[in-house]
């Protein structure tokens, strides 16, 4: 699956989850070459729509960790953001 396919699938999943922000169609080239992907994937409204707001796990201190915040932490340290996003499609 190429980056355009992954992008279209992540946008579809996010929109199905309630994302109503910019679809970035006007800057698709910048998204696909990786120079502008961060402006989308690290948006709070996008992350909540894409990964969901449910509880992912409970921290050792008893504080709940929501799916979207946990996913963003893992995404931020992932070597290949596209592979991480692709694997997050389910």
* Number of domains into which the chain is organized: 1
Give me the domain span that covers residue 31.
3-87
Other CB atoms within a 10 A radius of the CB of residue 3 amount to 16
* pTM, rounded to two decimals: 0.80
Q: What is the pLDDT along the chain (90 residues), one digit of tens a residue?
A: 888 899 899 999 999 999 998 887 777 877 777 777 888 889 999 999 999 888 866 667 777 888 899 999 999 999 999 999 999 997
| Secondary structure of 47-85 in HEC code, one letter for each residue | HHHHHCCCEEEECCCCCEEEHHHHHHHHHHHCCCHHHHH
User: Tokens in use for 6?
Assistant: 């992954």
């Amino acid at each position: 699956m190429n980056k355009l396919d992954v992008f279209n699938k992540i946008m579809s999943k996010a929109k199905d989850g309630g994302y109503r922000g910019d679809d970035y169609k006007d800057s698709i080239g910048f998204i696909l070459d990786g120079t502008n992907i961060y402006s989308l994937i690290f948006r709070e409204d996008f992350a909540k729509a894409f990964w969901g707001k449910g509880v992912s796990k409970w921290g050792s201190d008893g504080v709940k960790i929501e799916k979207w915040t946990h996913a963003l932490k893992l995404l931020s340290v992932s070597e290949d953001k596209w592979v991480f996003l692709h694997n997050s499609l389910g």
